[in-house]
Amino acid sequence: MSQSSRGNGELTETTSNEVESSFQVGIVGAGPAGAGAAYALRDSDADVTILEKSGGVCGRAATRRKDGCRYDHGANYIKDADPRTAELIPTLGTEELVNIDEPVWTFNETGEITEGNSRDEHKWTWTKGITQLAKRLLAETDVDVTHRTRVADISRVEKAWVLTDTDNTDHGPFDALLITPPAPQTVTLLEATAWQDNRLETLIAAAGDVEYRTIRTVVLHYPFMKSYPWYGLVNVDKEHPVGWLSREECKDGHVPDGESLFIAQMSPEWSTNRYDDPVDVAGSDTASHIAALLDDERYENPDWIDDQGWRYALPENGIDNRAARVAESAGLYVAGDWIVGEGRVNKALWNGYDTGTRIANALSISQQV
């Protein structure tokens, strides 16, 4: 009898008498694409294992906790930009679901702030943070998520895929393998794949063409709260050092009353030039830009700061669907926002979901023959 940890957090027990499902699916990455694929496979016959390098889930849709605050320091929220997302999110449970009421306004190079024209849309997160998306999707599955496991090598063993992590432990064999990290990290994995086949070269070339915007997120906390008519400000002419500024206190349950917490996503130019600046130096420069933008010198002195660099924050372009699917006939799949070419949680989620559906279909066809 063995025990393993499942996506829903419960320990399950299997006996040697139980019939094992015939197909093994391995997924690299528990971001929105990986979680979406696992969700699509939830009613299939496959045993699904996710290998995730971090201790959490949801990838660049990330949440952190500090001093009584909770903040989404990667993706800020999920838009109901398509009917599938609008339908799915409430079905994952409306308890603790947060819809940010305040709108997004705009500002330009000179710091002039103007009312935006954002349509009446949902901007969703959860009181416990945006990582709830992957947590709730995975809770609907029986998927095994193996954390703190960074995949380093892939090999083709007979007609299956075996993954080797950085501790030299093997995982698999898998009948189907789905790789979901950002394109440059996927390229590194594909280049470390022992498989002599032209389809691999085609996939590497396509993924290698995806370019990324780098963003350094700077988090600034203040022991006071000033009201504004907006939740977020976006720099529309892309000429300001601050690309995006938002108020985490507009999300229920994120910031204690009477405090404020800004998420500043710095411009790609600022972020690239100052990627390795010590956090206090980067924080101080960011604070002075915010004080000027909001015309309040108190913002020059946050009582604490935090940061996160996102080298591969947002893909600038996508790849051709035929290239993305070139190795699927050999059971090798890729998914993520970089396939679509849009750095959006919902795009990654549905790209992962649709890929998971193709995996389920391919496995059920091979079961019939």
Ligand X SMILES: Cc1cc2nc3c(=O)[nH]c(=O)nc-3n(C[C@H](O)[C@H](O)[C@H](O)COP(=O)(O)OP(=O)(O)OC[C@H]3O[C@@H](n4cnc5c(N)ncnc54)[C@H](O)[C@@H]3O)c2cc1C
Inter-residue contact 299 to 242 (CB < 8 Å): no
Residue 195 Cβ vs ligand X, minimum distance, rounded to whole Å: 17
Shortest distance, position 365 Cβ to ligand X, whole Å:
26
> Would you say 95 and 136 are in contact if contact means Cβ atoms under 8 Å apart?
no
Instruction: Write down the least CB distance from residue 50 to ligand X, Å.
Output: 8
Q: Among residues 135 and 344, whose Cβ is nearest to ligand X?
A: 344
For residue 346, count other CB atoms closer than 10 A to its CB: 25
The Cα–Cα gap between 266 and 244 comes to 7
Q: How far is the CB of 169 from ligand X (least distance, A)?
A: 12
Nearer to ligand X, 32 or 331 (CB): 32
Binding site for ligand X (CB under 6 A): 28-34, 51-54, 59-61, 74-78, 150-151, 180-182, 185, 215, 217, 265, 310, 313-314, 336-337, 343-346, 348
CB nearer to ligand X: give 32 or 241. 32
Closest to ligand X by CB, 65 or 298? 65
Q: Compute the distance between CA of residue 101 and CA of residue 80 in angstroms, rounded to an integer.
A: 14
Of the pair 78, 250, the CB lying nearest ligand X is at 78
At residue 131's C-alpha, the angle toward residues 220 and 93, to 5°, is 125
**What string of DSSP letters covers 178-239?**
EE-S-HHHHHHHHHTEE---HHHHHHHHHHHT--EEEEEEEEEEESS----S-SEEEESSS-
Measure the CA–CA gap between 115 and 76, rounded to whole angstroms. 19
Strand 232-235 vs strand 242-247: parallel, antiparallel, or unpaired?
Answer: antiparallel
Residue 295: CB minimum distance to ligand X, A: 25
Nearer to ligand X, 113 or 152 (CB): 152
Minimum CB separation of residue 22 from ligand X in Å reads 25
Length of the chain as a residue count:
369
Backbone angles phi, psi at 26, to 5 degrees: -110, 135
